[in-house]
């Protein structure tokens, strides 16, 4: 009877219930539970299992380049990073309001780590997130024009609650890339959020995009009312390398 029940739970894809039921039988935990307590325990186990699996699926689909979390962020005073602001971002209100975040700073300062940590948090709270290095994204979209997958790729991006565009401004933006960026930005304007990281200050973006009319349209939709994080200080990569060298020397 017990094995039959377990098999039925698994066939119904009630994996959290099945796991908890099996574990409880081994520990004789079920003997001391009332019917109400048993149902409550199994339902909560299934709820938690599905929640965790959904988070894992969203994290896989996000295709993050880095593993990072908000708890590991370094708030050294010289980084110009406001912990209160980051904790507000962690609530993901900006996503619900369809607002953008712009993170700027020199190379190695932690822009990608911070954006990924915010993306990870958004996945945990149930939002669909997609991370892309903007140079590689432009390359995929160009290939998509050739092989017919462009519309599918653009549609996938459009349906994300949060799009993270990393390393904006590092690759030239030609007319085809400019048109793709305009389409992405237009699709998301007032409908969904973006986090954009860049080594370049925002006042240089107009020149990077080129073609004044399109640049004006893109920047008006990205920058207007966007939250700004301007990271400063020494490269974290250099700091870590120094620490490793010191440890080796000692």
Give 184-214 pLDDT, tens digit per residue. Answer: 999 999 999 999 999 999 999 999 998 899 9
pLDDT for residue 240: 55
Position 186 scores a pLDDT of: 94
**Interval 165-177: pLDDT, tens:** 999 988 879 999 9
Residues of the chain with pLDDT under 70: 1, 29-31, 236-250
* pLDDT score of 246: 44
Query: What pLDDT is stored for residue 98 in this prediction?
Result: 96
CATH superfamily, with its number, for domain 70-238: P-loop containing nucleotide triphosphate hydrolases (3.40.50.300)
Alpha-carbon span 80 to 87, nearest angstrom: 15
Q: Please, is 82 exposed, middle or buried when counting C-beta atoms within 10 Å of its C-beta (0-12, 13-18, 19+)?
A: exposed
* Integer Cα distance of 203 and 195 in angstroms: 17
- Domain ranges for the chain, please list them: 2-61, 70-238
The two beta strands, 101-104 and 227-230, are: parallel
For residue 249, the model assigns a pLDDT of: 46
What's the token pair of residue 18? 């099945």
Structure tokens at 194: 């973006």
| pTM of the complete model | 0.81
Contact status, residue 165 vs residue 198, Cβ threshold 8 Å: no
**What is the longest distance spanned by two Cα atoms in the chain?**
74
């Amino acid at each position: 009877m017990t094995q039959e029940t377990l098999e039925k739970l698994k066939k119904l894809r009630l994996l959290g219930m099945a796991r908890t039921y099996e574990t409880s039988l081994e520990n004789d935990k079920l003997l001391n539970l009332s019917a109400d307590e048993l149902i409550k325990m199994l339902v909560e186990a299934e709820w938690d299992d599905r929640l965790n699996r959904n988070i894992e699926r969203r994290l896989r689909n996000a295709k993050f380049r880095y593993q990072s979390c908000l708890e590991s962020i370094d708030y050294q005073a010289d980084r110009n990073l406001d912990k209160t602001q980051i904790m507000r971002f962690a609530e993901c209100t900006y996503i619900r309001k369809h607002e953008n975040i712009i993170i700027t700073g020199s190379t190695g300062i932690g822009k990608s780590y911070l954006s990924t940590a915010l993306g990870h948090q958004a996945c945990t709270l149930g939002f669909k997130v997609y991370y892309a290095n903007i140079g590689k994204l432009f390359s995929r979209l160009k290939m998509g024009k050739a092989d017919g997958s462009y519309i599918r790729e653009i549609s996938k991006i459009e349906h994300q609650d949060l799009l993270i565009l990393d390393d904006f401004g590092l690759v030239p933006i030609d007319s085809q890339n400019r048109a793709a960026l305009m389409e992405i930005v237009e699709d998301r304007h007032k409908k969904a959020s973006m986090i954009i990281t860049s080594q370049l200050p925002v006042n240089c973006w107009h020149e990077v995009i080129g073609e004044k009319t399109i640049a004006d349209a893109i920047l008006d939709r990205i920058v207007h009312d966007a939250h700004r994080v301007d990271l400063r200080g020494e490269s974290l990569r250099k700091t870590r390398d120094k620490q490793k060298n010191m440890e080796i020397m000692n």
